[in-house]
Structure 1
């Protein structure tokens, strides 16, 4: 393909470039960073300061949901379309992946509600199942966030909190064995 587009001499030059996975990945990452920086700079330096994003979802031939993201902005006199800078933001990508998952489920729902053998009963059943799944995803997502919070900030038992709040009133038997001698020392130390 390179020979057809750029000529045989360029094809020989490109054939000499190492193409290991890490090299290609690094090159793509460097190009993406460069493009992102250029687009952000152009948006910031725009005399109008106007930009917009557009999301378009469609289903491909394999019945997979595809989400396209376009950013449009005015730079100089003509409009320009580029990939948004958010594509390098991990949190934005995770949220986008979540939306893509929902679109995939919506596509499945739409496919279930179409066709010759579809009737109102199947339609309502599919819709109810989807709503139930949405409620479950919401619960799981919130539960995952709650579990993550509890992992970082575990709830202490009364005995554990009393060890900090009232160490002199706490019964020695309620203290872990490796700390009992120190607690006894603290309780009896009058200085």
Structure 2
């Protein structure tokens, strides 16, 4: 990387942040990539990708719910393990007028995988059970006879769908640490609200489980209730563990310097008067209401010390989404059939936000 920077004339003192995944070789504080960057750019802020942290926080499951997930994965793997089983299952769901044509494989490295797999298995639960019965797979079929078997996959499908929705909100190009924190704080608040509702016996927010219990005419089982409460509480604890910086004071100042409740005396001396001038700048207030957050701070060069805080908060990448999207685009362009293709120019066109001028009449 140093050779690339030197060849491109990029100055290390201009590096304000580096975002990495959770690999030890990247986050190592002594010999990892993080340490190497800090040697050349001490001012750089090294962060762990927010989406990777979110994926780690969502891994928490109780033993009963983890068992359900493992069984669901075994069922999917059995049905999709061979071409014969796949064709037979396809003919079965055609005969039963099923909504979908196939099951989905679980892949641990794909962020949305668990939710999509559970949702599909739940929607095709009748077809799956019938197929296992026809195949004589009693070791897998016996789980359908267990108490609360249907309700637990329904809950997992619901909660993972909520997690997938948040994951999608964290993806995209025009994101920053403030947007990430807003979404994450909102989800933690939802977890607390869901915990309160479940504690009173209200499961309306979990649509699949609620509809299933209504159709079966069953009461909310106390064992299932405890499982859900335990899971929601453990999720909240994991979020606080992986995101201890959700209440960052610098981010609050950058998000809205005119309404944030901050003690000026706690700020550095060189920044106090400047911050007070900004808060009482009526032109700056009008600009803040009219423009986006990034555009506003780009125009606040007359407040250099406060603007430096904005640069430290808004400029560094908070996730490796763009890098992951680049790899996905490369795989789509340079396939096995085009493995000798030089993709530099094609990849640049695929990843750029710029558009070309199209001649009239073309």
Fold conserved between structures, TM > 0.5: no
Could you say which structure has the greater relative contact order, defined with CA pairs below 8 angstroms and 6 or more residues apart?
Answer: 2
Structure 2-normalised TM-score?
Answer: 0.20
Structure 1-normalised TM-score?
Answer: 0.35
Q: Which has the larger radius of gyration?
A: 1
